[in-house]
Each structure stands twice: as structure tokens, then as C-alpha cells.
Structure 1
């Protein structure tokens, strides 16, 4: 089997000895116009408040003994008829999809598709997002979970059926669904394939879309989701957009993030604000971009990682980048990689964007267009820290999802789910990952937001 190419290597970054984790920084009036104002670069861990998770999923292990499962990205499906029976749908890369109840216990496990041939890459589920109320062929509507299959360069679509509590997800991907970026299987095996994901329903037309980014490239593709007569779902590419890979710095020099030769600064974390159809995309070594979700407008870089502008030299032997002198052009709130993006809306209309600052195990939180809340701009941040000796926090977070609606008795004030890239207990050097469930009321408390009525 052709092995997966390793992820891009980046400058060494400090990590915490304790289980720190997800920083939430509230972005603001990004949908309106001006970028978040720059500030003096500040390196090292920030003195952010810590919040503790309420529950965690069983640890996944990325090896043959553990089914090559690697936790990556979550989505939260709210059951409107029975909020206590809501679900967390999460990717496990070669391990496929995992479905959890609100108690963080496994409900369903779906394998990734097999490799089409002995020398081809297997399925590899990377990111997941939800589409609500899609009308399928038989006239009924359904909620769908859409996933990027990085291994096969396709989208996978699963219908969510709450009437099947033990197996709520059913694969409805059309067998003829096209590759997203690759021309043929040989190109698929190189793994510059569909990677990050966000979904979007255009309120004007009612059409539903997925936005997929490309691994090791700067491309984002807009894909319209199309139900077929047979009850499956396919898609067509509408258009694509390439973000910059090189940048002119204030001193007149040009800079590109350091990485493995031939690889460009990729996007993974993405989310669309349904209120105005704005896409927020995290270019991992660069920062957070804002653009129209239809990809027709000009992208605006609204915040930068601290490492923005820092030169680096790639060392083939160590497969790492040695950073040079920091010229001071980076931001202060997020540290590379910028990863999972999610947002939630308060009852007064305030909207907040949460970005995983993977480099310092935190989340950066920004206020979008707001009503009576804290106003526009950076709202604060926090870390997810250990609740006990057996319930650790989150480190090196890849993905996050938030729902600010009552989810029954367990989470009456909403739920935040974050990936933990260094879950415990680790065993014999095995790569251990999982997901942490956090009461969203704790996020509000850490940010000083008004307490929502429940």
C-alpha cells in the first residue's frame, strides 16, 4: 500500500506538561469589514482561564491494534424532538466515523471505505459538518452528516435517522460521486486531496453546499450537494479559490511559511456563519481568513498567527523547520497551527467565532456582528484543563464544535466538543486521541458573557 505522506512539519512550539487545551477567542464584526487590529507579538503560553470538561470519549489509538483510529473533528447534531438524545458525530481518520451520545459513550462506529486496490490509499475521514432539512428523492427531508474522505478525495454523506437509536447514520453517498480535486487514482494516492470542510445552505436559493479545502495546497472548492432519484446524494463543483501561499511583509520582504518542500500552507478548520453566508477559514501557518461562502468575493486576512512572518529553514534529516528571528509581524491571539473553527449565537443575537490555537493549547474567541453583547473584536480566550486524575483536558486540538441550544438535562446551556490530540491514558508510546465534552456555560463564564436563559 502506498503510505500516507506525513503532515507538513512546522517550527517547534512549546507544549504544556499538564493537559491544557482549547483556547476560545471571540472574533468580532468580521462580517462587517475591518481586520482585527494587529498587536505586539507575544510568544509563550498566555495567562488564560482554564475550564474543565464534563465528559470524554474512550481513547482512540492510531495503530493496527487500535484500528488506525485517530480522533480529528466533531459535529453536534441536536435532536429537536428529544434534545437528551442528541448526538456527537466525529471523524477518526482511517478509523472512519464515531457517533456518541451526550454521555460521551459510543453509539455507532462506521468504517472508512476500503482501498480500491492493493497499492491504493484507504478511506480516511478528516472533517465533518452537518446539513439540515435536505429534501431527498422520496419527498421527505433529512439531516445529513457530510465528511471529507481524504483517502479517496471524495465527500461521504450519511443520513441521520433518530428512529434508529443504535445505528442512526446510514451511508447515502452516490457511488458515482466524483473526486473533489484529483484527476485520477495515482493523484489520489499522492494525498493532496479533500481535507477541511464546512457546509452552507444559501438562504436565498435554498441550495446546500459543502466547502472543501485541499491538503498541502491553498485551494478551497465550493460543491453543491445534489440528491439523486435513487435516494443517494452526490455533488458538483461550482467554483474554487486559491488563497495566497506567499505574503509581502511590512518591511517590503516576501515570506512563505516553512514546510516540507513542495507543500503549501493548507487550510483545515472552516465554518460558515449562516446569518450572512460568510466563510471563515483557518490557514494553518498563516491565520484566519474571511470571505463570502460562494467564493465570489476577495478574502480578507482578519487575524494572524504569532509565527506569521517568521522565516524558517526546513531540515530534511529531522523533518522539522528551524525558525529564524521573529520580525514582529505576527498576531497575539493564536499560535500555529490555527485549527478547528466553530461558532455559536447567543439569544440576544451576538455571534462568536471560536478558533483552536493548537500551538499553545488554547482557543481564541472573537465576536462577530453583535447585538447587546460585548461588542466587536477579540472577546477573550481559555484553555480546557484536567477535571480530575482520570478526566484530562485537551492539548493540540484539531477540531471543535459548539451548539448554543439546550441539550436536555446534561447540557441545558449548550455544548462545546473539542478534540484532544494527547489523550490519556497513553499506552506504550501509542498515539492516543479523543474528544472532550464541555458545558458551554463555562465558556460564557470564562469570557464574561451574560448568562443565557435556559
Structure 2
């Protein structure tokens, strides 16, 4: 499986069974079948509601910003779709709400912030600043917000260049089809100092590399460097060709992504397939590290129920992840130790893989985030996660893990709710070390 590069796009042939199965032959440790540890959160954000009364806010993806001058005043910045961005303090209390841009026309979609990540020390005019970079699925653009904790009215200020281009779409008609910017991770190349966003495309297999650049006026724009297309079809050992079941016209998309800054490797979760590893500059050959349990299971889309009806399982799937693969984050300890953490949405668990490339990113265990009390519940159907393994003041001296909860305890009857849970990172380390 050697990709062929053209101008800005890498294309893949049909993935062969030998390549796929060899890439996923990760040794299963003896404790893999044991019950996973249950970790409890320390705090949770107020519930968000995806309805008119709740501002169409739907929790999705968090990022953790450390205030180096005062770690106790560090922040969690979260994408909440049509609700825009929310900023929380370390007690999970709201600090700021940032609305997405409005729809450009009466028949167009409004802004919809899907994923968020941070860039530290990006040059903005004559100075440097930390920024939050967000994928705006509604407009097929990136939005960039400067972070200033001393700013009156809230720490985030929109510094997106008004001329910043669409990521994938040629015009507004294509934007309205919603095959737009979706998942997102940032990366600063240590060799060059240049900063990038890696952005996936909704209902497609594409991942684009965008270079972020500051303008003389202090705004931020971006340009596309290249695009990688991951496989959408896989040849199985029984000779069949398998494509994950989806609504007609949709391909298996990527959302959760994270880059290991130590080695410049991108880890990308193709939701119905598994976890890929590839160079963050999108060159080289992607490797499928692990598969979802549903890998290879045939399915037929039922238009009446808008669901896929699965067929018999041929037994080619993995043992640790259940579709969808969602939030990915990095627990990066000094010396190359640490883990790539992956949200296994289908069974409400988190899987941890070693960061060591020469050891094949071995699976090293997992955990659940469960209720701490009748009022502080756990994380279910998790969409996004972020870890920061630096001291964050008196509340989290060992670091913090923030995970999305797709089924937050409702604040009112018959009303769906989402939110975020804050977990002491010391609990995560202990669970993975035991």
C-alpha cells in the first residue's frame, strides 16, 4: 500500500487484507479480558441542551490551556457545535461563551464549531500569542481565537482573517451539502517552527494539512499544503471487499485526531474502522494500529429507520474498540513515555496505546469514567477528550483529563443533555500502571 502523491493529494488504492491485518496484529496482554478500572470525575460542567431553549448547544470536543503565570487560573476551551465555544475554569464553571458566525444567507447553515485544539506562541503581527483553532463545520472554515486571560469580557478574541479560505468546498453550494471541515488537531513542527492544523472532512476519508500564518495586522489565515485520502474499502481474508455501512453517498469519516509533538506522528480515528498512524505532514504510509470490533461486519442501510442492519460477524474485528472511534488525546510524559488515549464510544470506554513507535504502539489497558455520586455522573458516548500532563495548581497538581459526556444527567425531564467531565490525571496514570 504505497500512496501516490499528486499536487496536494495522496490517494490510496484498495487496502489489502494482508496489509490491514498485519498492521493490526497488536499483542493482547494477559489482563485485556479483566474488567476495566472505573475512574470518577472531580467536576462537571453545567448541562448543555441541543434545542432552541438551550441555544442549540451540543458538547463535542475540549482543549486545556495552561496559564503558566498562574496555573490555578488555567482554562478549558470546548466546542459545542451551534452553541459555538464555551470557556470553563478548573472548577468547571462557565467563564465565557463565544457564538459562531451567523449563516451567510437565509438558506445557508449557521456556524457549527466541531473540534478545537491549541497552538502556543503563534506569531500575530509583531507579537506571539496562544490561540484556539476550531473547525467550523457550518462554514467549512477554521476559526482562530487569541487567548488572553486578562482580557475584560473573557479570554477569547476572534482573530480569524476575514479572507481565510474554505477548507474543502469550492463555493457555498458545496458548503450547504455539509461535506465540510470536521475533526481537527494542531501541530507545530519542531524542526521549522511552523504551525499547522490537520482537518478531516465530514462523510469523507480526507484529512488536509493547513499551515497557519499570522498577518501583519494580527489576524490568522491558513493555506492548504496537501491532502491525504484514507481507504474507504478493505479486502478481507475471505476475499470479500468491505466498506462500513453508512447512508448512501457517505464514506467512513475521521474525527478524533492528535499529534505526538515528540515525533511528529498523527493518530487519527476513522470512526467505523479503527486508529491510524501517519506522519503529521501527511507523507509516508499510514498504518492501521487497531480495528473496531465491527470491522468487516457487513451491513445494509435501512432508509425507513435511517440505521444500518448488521449481517453476520466474520470475526475480523479488533477486541478493544467499539465503533465509533471518537476522541483522541495524548498523555505525553517525559522521555517518550505516556499513552495515546482513544475514546471507544460504542462501549463507553477509553483505550490506551503506548507512544513507542518501535514497539508498535502496543495496547496497555483502558478505563471507564463512571458516576462519582447521584449528581456527578460519568461519561457515556464520549465524543471528545483532552489531557494535559502538567501541574494545574491546587486542584490538579498531577494534570487533568477532560472528556465529553454524550448523555449528561438531564437538568429537566424529556430533554437530552451533554457536558464535560474533569478527571484527575493521577487516577488515569494509576489505572494504566496497575
TM-score (structure 1 length as normaliser):
0.88
Once the two structures are TM-superposed, the CA of residue 47 in structure 1 deviates from its matched residue by: 2.2
CA distance in 2, matches of 1:295, 1:46: 37
Please give the root-mean-square deviation of Cα atoms over the aligned residues, in Å. Answer: 1.7
Q: Which runs of 5 or more residues in structure 2 are unaligned?
A: 1-21
Counterpart in the other structure of 1:436: 421
Alpha-carbon separation, structure 2, partners of 1:342 and 1:143: 19
Distance in 1 between residues matched to 2:26 and 2:91, nearest whole Å:
41
Higher relative contact order (CA 8 A, sep 6+): 1
3-state SS in 1 of match to 2:52 = coil
- 1:331 matched to 2:312: no
Report deviation, 1:36: 4.5
Query: 382, 385, 404: which is aligned to 2:370?
Result: 385
2:120 to 120, 127, 132: 132
> 1:336-351, aligned counterparts within 5 Å?
336-351=323-338
The structure with the greater share of residues assigned to helix is 2
User: Structure 2 CA distance, aligned partners of 1:441 and 1:165?
Assistant: 34
Residue 82 of structure 1 is matched in structure 2 by 70
Q: How much has 1:428 moved relative to structure 2?
A: 3.6
**How far apart are residue 250 of structure 1 and its match?**
1.5
CA shift, 1:228, in A, is: 0.9
Equivalents in 2 of 1:412, 1:39: separation in Å? 34
Count of matched residue pairs? 409
- CA distance change for structure 1 residues 46 and 432 in 2, over 3 Å: closer, same or farther? farther
Q: Is the 8 A contact 1:306 1:331 kept in 2?
A: yes
Residue 184 of structure 2 is aligned to residue 197 of structure 1: yes
What's the CA shift for 1:385? 0.3
Alignment partner of 1:309 out of 293, 296, 317: 296
User: 2:252 touches 2:270 (CA, 8 Å); kept in 1?
Assistant: yes
Deviation of residue 230 (structure 1)? Answer: 1.4
Work out whether residues 332 and 389 of structure 2, in 8 Å CA contact, stay in contact via their aligned partners in 1.
yes
Indicate the SS of the match to 2:114. Answer: strand
Written as runs of structure 1 = structure 2, the 5 A alignment for 1:34-433 is 35-37=23-25, 47-137=35-125, 139-164=126-151, 166-369=153-356, 377-433=362-418
Secondary structure of the 2:336 match is coil
Q: Distance in 2 between matches of 1:431 and 1:206?
A: 43
* Offset, 1:375: 10
Q: Are 2:26 and 2:362, in contact at CA under 8 Å, matched by a contact in 1?
A: no
1:19 counterpart residue number: none
Contact persistence 1:130–1:199 (CA under 8 A) = yes
Q: Do the aligned partners of 1:341 and 1:400 also contact (CA within 8 Å) in 2?
A: yes
SS of the counterpart of 2:173?
A: helix
Kindly tell me: are residues 229 and 348 of structure 1, through their superposed partners in 2, closer, same or farther at Cα, counting changes over 3 Å?
closer
For residues 90 and 377 of structure 1, the distance between their equivalents in structure 2, rounded to whole angstroms, comes to 30
CA distance in 1, matches of 2:286, 2:360: 23
Distance apart, 1:162 and its partner CA: 2.0
User: Deviation at 1:348?
Assistant: 4.6
Report the Cα distance in structure 2 between the residues aligned to 1:376 and 1:315, rounded to whole angstroms: 37
Aligned equivalents of 1:168, 1:423: Cα separation in 2: 26
CA contact (8 A) 1:349 1:370 kept: no
Task: Determine the C-alpha separation between the residues in 2 that align with 1:279 and 1:428.
Answer: 41
Q: Is contact 1:136-1:142 (8 Å) kept?
A: yes
Cα drift, residue 444 of structure 1: 1.1
- Say if 1:36 and 1:377, in contact at 8 Å, map to a contact too: no
Q: State the distance in 1 between where 2:411 and 2:288 align.
A: 38
- For residue 9 of structure 1, what is the aligned residue in structure 2? none
Distance 2:316 2:27 in 1: 9
Q: Which moved more, 1:346-355 or 1:284-293?
A: 346-355
SS at match of 1:65: helix
1:61 and 1:446 mapped to 2: Cα distance?
32
Segments of structure 1 that go 5 or more residues without pairing to the other structure are: 1-33, 450-454
Secondary structure at the counterpart of residue 60 of structure 1: coil
Cα distance 1:327–1:375, how it changes in 2: closer, same or farther (>3 A)?
closer
